[in-house]
């Protein structure tokens, strides 16, 4: 496109720990979904031979079940500050978060919209996080009695089947939107490379998370930039390093 | 379905000979499962993957303070609304034209959902080893000798019963018989009852029990677990609708975005300037 070229000055958005935690979570979730898919719907029964028969699928599902539990620990242990910020953001709800959703719907379908000022996580990311935390608890909490059914009362196992189903049914529906927004949707695409490398274009960060960006500028972590993302003339004294959020 | 058949078990006529267990093993080619002495004449605690019917021996103190030695031929009930059939993710469990409930080993993946949802706990998984030495599991239980029924024969256990405690026949006739029997034995067994639980839509094994179901370790009011109903009738279909709905939403978003950017492409102004 013939639009003015944006500067590719980057700033660090996510710590390495978060990048790993997110990656392990994503791969585990998809692997768990695929290894269980033939049991969810017979349309995918052809996956059994691919996965090494029902026994192979069962074994893989249990391996990825273990890796699915790891991300929280990775994040908590290696980036406690980032995890704490996440938790704090999740319980902070203001009027602008509601405004965000009205604008989000317009943006989603490609209509004109305005950016609502957001902090480190926008309201959509917060909703996504809350649903994923809730469903992960459901899935893990019910998966344990399903796996080790001989150690649990029958009623717990029986309700476990239901909660497992509710958990992943809700989770996958949200994941579809989450993946679309990062991988395909044009305005939020830089978020996808951001969650893999940990870094995002400065202009994009400022546009999408102005409160966070300004805060980091005030701390001297991020450069002040103009509309196209180029550092402003009187460059702040910190040419040194962009530090983690 | 032409005539609906049920197996009628009158436990008050049973003498505990265990011929039904032997006949079952014999017809279904099931290996013996040697057991340690369990403290009574009863050979196995309950049905297993290789022992599809077990004769229960129960020492019961009746309301007069006397000892009753109760027997019961226990096996799959072949529920009209079978929880195992409901929860099976592979449709491996189905109803036959006789109303019996059978497991198709070609489809069974050994997940054990049926094992954990059966209100009577009569289904078990069996581990097999294939020719590569790999283990796999399949669910097993009494078939009511469906393969015999198909040939016009009666279940092996019924055929072999020498006291007439078991009969196989037309459902209405069997239930009538059971009710008559209960009235005959009421003075000896005041708690006697017909056990044909309606919570599972009635069963294809109908009992005359001498005592309350709980005396035999049976549920007083068995039903398809509520969790299984919510799971299979609501959660699963709604879940499938939800992923369909979000997929439609993002496909729609992709299309409108493409259209919008085409429309706005020339004056390159969407109110905002994204790349």
Check CB contact under 8 Å for B238 and A169. yes
Look at A179 and A243; give whichever has higher pLDDT: A179
Check CB contact under 8 Å for B239 and A177. no
Please list every residue in chain A whose beta carbon sits closer than 8 Å to the beta carbon of residue B252: 109
What pLDDT shows up at residue B268?
A: 38
SS3 label, residue B120: coil
Report the distance separating Cα A140 and Cα A37, nearest Å.
Answer: 17
CB nearest B254 (choices: A169, A176, A184):
A184
Rounded to 10 deg, the angle between the A16-40 and A154-179 helix axes is: 120
Please list every residue in chain A whose beta carbon sits closer than 8 Å to the beta carbon of residue B46: none
B233: closest chain A residue by CA: A162
Please list every residue in chain B whose beta carbon sits closer than 8 Å to the beta carbon of residue A109: 252-253, 256-257, 260
pLDDT tens column, A11-34 = 999 999 999 999 999 999 999 999
Please list every residue in chain B whose beta carbon sits closer than 8 Å to the beta carbon of residue A59: none
Please list every residue in chain A whose beta carbon sits closer than 8 Å to the beta carbon of residue B250: 176-177, 180, 184
What pLDDT shows up at residue A243?
A: 47
Q: Do residues B157 and B20 touch, judged by C-beta distance below 8 A?
A: yes
Please, how many CA atoms are within 13 Å of residue A238, restricted to the half-sphere of its CB? 13
Cα A52 vs. chain centroid, distance in angstroms? Answer: 30
Could you tell me the pLDDT band of residue B263, with boundaries at 50, 70 and 90? confident
Share of chain A above pLDDT 70, in %: 93
Could you tell me the pLDDT band of residue B2, with boundaries at 50, 70 and 90? low
Residue A129 near chain B (CB below 8 Å): no
What pLDDT shows up at residue A85?
A: 93
Q: Which of B246, B260, B264, B267 to mutate to test the interface with A (most CBs of A within 10 A)?
A: B246
Closest CA–CA distance from residue A89 to any residue of chain B (Å): 25
What pLDDT shows up at residue A234?
A: 55
What pLDDT shows up at residue B267?
A: 40
B89: closest chain A residue by CA: A39
Could you tell me the pLDDT band of residue B33, with boundaries at 50, 70 and 90? very high
* Mean pLDDT along residues B205-232: 96
* Mean pLDDT along residues A75-96: 93
* Mean pLDDT along residues B43-48: 95
Closest CA–CA distance from residue B122 to any residue of chain A (Å): 13
Q: What is the ipTM of this complex?
A: 0.89
Distances from the Cα of B134 to the Cα of A55, A85, B128, B138, angstroms: 9, 48, 8, 13
What pLDDT shows up at residue A184?
A: 87
What pLDDT shows up at residue A4?
A: 59
pLDDT tens column, B179-198 = 999 999 999 999 999 999 99
Q: Is residue B274 pLDDT above 60, yes or no?
A: no
Q: Do residues B30 and B24 touch, judged by C-beta distance below 8 A?
A: yes
CB nearest B249 (choices: A4, A112, A177):
A177
Report the distance separating Cα A227 and Cα B69, nearest Å.
Answer: 91
pLDDT tens column, A110-164 = 888 888 889 899 999 999 999 999 999 999 999 999 999 999 999 999 999 999 9
pLDDT tens column, B120-158 = 999 999 999 999 999 999 999 999 999 999 999 999 999
Report the distance separating Cα B55 and Cα B44, nearest Å.
Answer: 8
Check CB contact under 8 Å for A1 and B275. yes
* Mean pLDDT along residues B45-72: 94
Closest of B275, B272, B261 to residue A3, by C-alpha? B275
Q: Is residue A198 pLDDT above 90, yes or no?
A: yes
* Mean pLDDT along residues B90-114: 96
What pLDDT shows up at residue A107?
A: 85
A68-77, A177-186, A214-223, B240-249 — most confident range: A68-77
């Amino acid at each position: 496109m013939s639009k003015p070229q944006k500067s590719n000055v980057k700033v660090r958005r996510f710590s390495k720990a978060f990048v790993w935690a997110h990656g392990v979570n994503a791969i585990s979730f998809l692997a768990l979904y695929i290894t269980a898919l033939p049991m969810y719907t017979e349309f995918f029964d052809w996956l059994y031979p691919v996965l090494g028969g029902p026994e192979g699928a069962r074994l893989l599902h249990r391996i990825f079940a273990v890796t699915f539990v790891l991300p929280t620990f990775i994040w908590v242990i290696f980036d406690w500050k980032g995890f704490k910020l996440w938790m704090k953001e999740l319980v902070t709800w203001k009027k602008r978060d509601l405004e965000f959703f009205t604008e989000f719907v317009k943006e989603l379908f490609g209509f004109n919209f305005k950016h609502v000022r957001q902090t480190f996580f926008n309201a959509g990311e917060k909703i996504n996080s809350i649903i994923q935390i809730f469903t992960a608890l459901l899935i893990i909490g019910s998966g344990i009695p399903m796996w080790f059914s001989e150690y649990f009362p029958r009623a717990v196992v029986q309700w476990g089947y239901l909660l497992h189903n509710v958990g992943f049914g809700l989770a996958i529906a949200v994941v579809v939107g989450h993946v679309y927004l990062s991988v395909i949707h044009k305005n939020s695409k830089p978020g996808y490379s951001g969650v893999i490398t940990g870094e995002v274009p400065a202009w994009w960060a400022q546009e999408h998370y102005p409160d966070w960006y300004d805060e980091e500028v005030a701390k001297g972590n991020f450069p002040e930039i103009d509309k196209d993302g180029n550092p402003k003339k009187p460059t702040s004294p910190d040419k040194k390093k962009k530090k983690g959020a | 379905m032409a005539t609906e058949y049920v197996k009628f078990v009158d436990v008050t006529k049973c003498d505990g000979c265990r011929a039904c267990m032997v006949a079952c093993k014999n017809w279904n080619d099931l290996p013996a499962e040697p057991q340690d002495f369990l403290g009574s004449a009863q050979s196995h605690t309950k049905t297993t993957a290789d022992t599809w019917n077990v004769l229960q021996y129960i020492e019961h103190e009746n309301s007069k303070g006397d000892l009753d030695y109760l027997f019961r031929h226990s096996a799959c009930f072949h529920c009209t609304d079978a929880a195992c059939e409901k929860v099976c993710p592979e449709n491996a469990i189905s109803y036959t034209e006789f109303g019996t409930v059978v497991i198709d080993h070609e489809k069974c993946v050994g997940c054990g959902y049926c094992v954990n949802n059966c209100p009577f706990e009569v289904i078990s998984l069996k581990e097999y080893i294939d020719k590569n030495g790999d283990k796999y599991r399949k669910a097993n239980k009494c078939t009511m000798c469906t393969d015999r029924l198909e040939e016009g024969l009666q279940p092996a256990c019924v055929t072999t019963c020498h006291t007439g405690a078991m009969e196989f026949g037309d459902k209405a006739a069997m239930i009538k018989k059971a009710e008559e029997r209960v009235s005959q034995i009421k003075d000896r067994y005041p708690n006697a009852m017909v056990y044909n639980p309606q919570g599972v839509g009635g069963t294809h094994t109908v009992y005359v029990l001498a005592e309350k179901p709980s005396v035999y370790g049976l549920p007083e009011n068995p039903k398809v677990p509520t969790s299984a109903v919510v799971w299979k009738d609501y959660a699963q279909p709604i879940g499938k609708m939800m992923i369909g709905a979000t997929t439609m939403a993002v496909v729609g978003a992709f299309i409108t975005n493409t259209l919008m950017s085409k429309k706005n492409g020339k004056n390159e102004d969407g109110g905002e300037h994204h790349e």
